[in-house]
Amino acid sequence: MYKKEDQKSLYELSKQLLKTEGIPVAFEAEQQVEDLRKAIVYHEWKYYIQNDPVMSDFEYDTLYKRLEALEKAYPDFIQPDSPTQRVSNDLTETFESVEHLIPMLSLANSYNEEDLNDFDTQIKKLTLLDENVDIEYCVEPKFDGGSIALVFENDHLSRGATRGNGTLGEEMTNNARVMKSIPLKAEFSSKGIAKAELRGEVVIRKDIFDKMNADREAQGLSLFANPRNTASGGLRMKDPKEVAKRGLEAFIYQLGYVVDEEGNNKMNAFKTHDETIEFLGSLGFKIPVKERKVCKNIKEVHDFILEWQAKRDAYEYEIDGMVIKVNSLALQEKCGYTSHHPRWAIAFKFKAKQATSKLLNVEYQIGKIGSVTPVAKLEPVQLAGVMVSSVSLHNEDFITSKDIRIGDTVLVERAGDVIPYIVKPMEDLRDGSEQVIDFPKNCPVCDTKLERAETEAAWRCTNYNCEAQVIQRMIFHVSKDAMDIDGFGKSYVERFFEMGWLRNIADIYRLDYEKIAALEGFGKKSAANLEKAIEKAKKNPIHRLLHSLSVHHLGKKVSKLVAGEIDHVLELQDKTIENFTEIKDIGPVVAENIIEYFSNPDNVNLLKEMETLGVNLRQTEADRPKVVDANAPLVGKTILFTGSLQKMGRKEAQTLAENNGAKNISAVSSNLNILVVGEKAGSKLKKAQAIGTVEIMTEDEFLELIG
């Protein structure tokens, strides 16, 4: 929407405005308020629409605060479309029922190429075109959020509403005003349009959704089920300030209604759907750009859909399909509408990510530290191409908060690579035969009474020798994260346990490879491979061994910290809580767990046995902490390498940086101090340049800096 030269002058204006201070006299203030408005609207567009900010958050905030201060000193200069007027303190939504200017219809669905071809044939019939003529279509994602309709009158946002029943929606103008991807002012008048209604979908970026849920989890709040509910629920919040916090964005996908001052239809200002969307983009709305394509025939449509189906999980937003629209507005008019949907458009639905199934039973799995996880056994059901029959129910609170019962029909969802989860039971389908899930009081494997600490969500079996725990500890011990014994997985552990060969982790190192070779499905070669992998694991640095012991909270990082403090694992028998908590980043809880582990003679004996069997218990080079000199050149700096480095590998560069006191981070933001650019550096470099505070250097300059 902004021309290059306009962008440049707005950028310079912003820099100038950043330098101004104090409250000027009225006539100067009026000009400044106007300049600030213009500059801030521009930066919001760069940030929310273009995803390409040219100023740091700090600089943006400074401009915003200055505008607030001037508007406070001179309230007469406040314009309703000022960025500060998005949120007002005392507004709440009333959700009054309002009539859409034209009904918000739904879409017909298609699921495969054949359906698409039928649609194409139908369009040719409706428009009286020959079978051999190609129809041009505009294709864009079917965003999965909540739909909204926005009315603009005389270039100002005058109303926002939800879809409602299609004819009547709920008014939510104040909520729409807080979404920074929706301009408060847009120059429809440039095309002689006095009143317009646009349709769009309010969505939330997947990473923002994940972060929001992680924060909620940390605060002990209930989690949002998925991005769609979070977005559509967000539209209906009473307090616009809360809406603002959700980080919602509106993609505009249709210009529904346009009239001039006399009320005459102005749709004839456009020839194609694509042109209307492009126009809305030029007015500052968020529109699908890389996500939208004009296809010259239905074959190209199908190809584009397949492309997006493959990209779907990697895309920033949830989409549940693509929408195919006849591009020519004249042809659209010929096609017309049913009472339910336009005949000129169709949705292509990707494979379902949600399905319903019956909950047959609940089983309980015991983890390596005794945590009891309830698992729902379902009637097998297809979900996004995968058969699902087992879904975790996490813990007792999850079951009670959702009131999930055995015999319930449940809604299951699988988003992206995420493991499937139960969204809710379908309470309306109950017939009274469903049974409330009775969480066990005793361990289903060893019958020990379960316990639950106040601060934890899980019930635990406290019997350290519980068979289930012993097996889980062995599975963890051999896993990639722990001792990393190649080829040794869960099924081997279970099988060898059944054979009576494994009773504890020491037994792993006294396996009889001849016997293994004789087992069905093994043979000499796989037994020899296993032996090789186990021999290799014996030499592991002790931080791996410590982590592999399944001591609660003794994760990878703490294991490394502990390993750095000792010469031999058995020294840990003589440590006190203080010895541990003196180490930075080690807290009293894990300290106590380590002490408890090493005060049990069975555990000490187990480790001694392992040492006799050849497992390394001594500190190795890899365990030794890297000592960073307080005067090292990069102390306190964050660093990021981008592009292809010529003199060293990426890992090597990162280690060098770390050894010189720097912290490697993975994204360019205002927190980044140094960006080292190799060949073919791309978007990261651009972004760092735009931020302006990042020190940018070449590989050679970096090497010189660290000497």
Q: Are strands 638-642 and 663-664 parallel, antiparallel or unpaired?
A: parallel
Q: With contacts defined by CB under 6 A, name the span among 51-59, 142-150, 170-178, 633-641 that binds ligand IVH.
A: 142-150
SS3 376: strand
Q: With contacts defined by CB under 6 A, name the span among 63-71, 104-112, 266-274, 525-533 that binds ligand IVH.
A: 104-112
Q: Could you tell me the CA-to-CA distances from 479 to 429, 483, 496 in Å, in that order?
A: 43, 6, 16
Q: How far apart are CA 657 and CA 6, in angstroms?
A: 40
Q: How far apart are CA 13 and CA 5, in angstroms?
A: 12
Task: Write out the binding residues for ligand IVH, residues 285-324 only, by CB under 6 A.
Answer: 323
- Closest to ligand IVH by CB, 343 vs 547, is 343
Q: With contacts defined by CB under 6 A, name the span among 36-44, 50-58, 103-111, 185-193 that binds ligand IVH.
A: 103-111
Q: How far apart are CA 472 and CA 66, in angstroms?
A: 59
Smallest separation (angstroms) from ligand IVH to the CB of 498: 53
Whether 265 and 259 have beta carbons less than 8 Å apart is answered as yes
- Regarding 147 and contact with ligand IVH (CB under 6 A), the answer is yes
- Regarding 106 and contact with ligand IVH (CB under 6 A), the answer is yes
The residue annotated as part of the active site, out of 142, 266, 325, 687, is: 142
- Regarding 228 and contact with ligand IVH (CB under 6 A), the answer is no
Identify the residue whose tokens are 């071809």.
Answer: 117
Strand partners, 349: 321
Smallest separation (angstroms) from ligand IVH to the CB of 470: 52
Smallest separation (angstroms) from ligand IVH to the CB of 106: 4
Which of 42, 60, 137, 143 forms a contact with ligand IVH (CB under 6 A)?
A: 143
Q: With contacts defined by CB under 6 A, name the span among 136-144, 409-417, 458-466, 551-559 that binds ligand IVH.
A: 136-144
Smallest separation (angstroms) from ligand IVH to the CB of 142: 4
Whether 204 and 246 have beta carbons less than 8 Å apart is answered as yes
Q: With contacts defined by CB under 6 A, name the span among 38-46, 105-113, 461-469, 483-491 that binds ligand IVH.
A: 105-113
- Regarding 560 and contact with ligand IVH (CB under 6 A), the answer is no
How many of the other CB atoms lie within 10 Å of CB of 513? Answer: 16
Whether 171 and 161 have beta carbons less than 8 Å apart is answered as yes
What's the gap between Cα 1 and its chain centre? 29
Q: Could you tell me the CA-to-CA distances from 635 to 85, 629, 673 in Å, in that order?
A: 43, 8, 11
Which of 105, 182, 461, 466 forms a contact with ligand IVH (CB under 6 A)?
A: 105
- Closest to ligand IVH by CB, 143 vs 702, is 143
Task: Write out the binding residues for ligand IVH, residues 230-259 only, by CB under 6 A.
Answer: 253-254
Which of 49, 107, 237, 675 forms a contact with ligand IVH (CB under 6 A)?
A: 107
Q: With contacts defined by CB under 6 A, name the span among 139-147, 477-485, 647-655, 664-672 that binds ligand IVH.
A: 139-147
Q: How far apart are CA 225 and CA 209, in angstroms?
A: 10
Q: How far apart are CA 563 and CA 55, in angstroms?
A: 44
Q: How many CA atoms lie within 13 A of 23 on its CB side?
A: 10
Sign of the Cα pseudo-torsion (275, 279, 285, 290, in order): positive
- Closest to ligand IVH by CB, 323 vs 668, is 323
State the amino acid at position 6 in one-letter form: D
> Crossing angle, helix 650-659 and helix 699-706, to 10 degrees?
30
Phi, psi of 700 (to 5 degrees): -60, -40
- Closest to ligand IVH by CB, 289 vs 419, is 289
Smallest separation (angstroms) from ligand IVH to the CB of 344: 9
- Closest to ligand IVH by CB, 342 vs 643, is 342
- Regarding 142 and contact with ligand IVH (CB under 6 A), the answer is yes
The string of DSSP letters for 182-211 reads S-SB--GGGGT-SEEEEEEEEEE-HHHHHH
- Binding-site size for ligand IVH (CB under 6 A) equals 14
Which of 331, 345, 376, 508 forms a contact with ligand IVH (CB under 6 A)?
A: 345
| Helix ranges (DSSP H) in 314-466 | 329-335, 396-402
Residue 687 is among the residues annotated as catalytic for this protein: no
- Closest to ligand IVH by CB, 142 vs 312, is 142
- Closest to ligand IVH by CB, 169 vs 643, is 169
Identify the residue whose tokens are 């480095």.
Answer: 645
Q: With contacts defined by CB under 6 A, name the span among 141-149, 356-364, 547-555, 624-632 that binds ligand IVH.
A: 141-149
Q: How far apart are CA 38 and CA 27, in angstroms?
A: 17
Phi, psi of 116 (to 5 degrees): -65, -45
Smallest separation (angstroms) from ligand IVH to the CB of 319: 8
Smallest separation (angstroms) from ligand IVH to the CB of 109: 8
Which of 35, 171, 201, 396 forms a contact with ligand IVH (CB under 6 A)?
A: 201
Binding site for ligand IVH (CB under 6 A): 105-107, 140, 142-143, 147, 163, 201, 253-254, 323, 342, 345
Indicate which residues carry an active-site annotation: 142
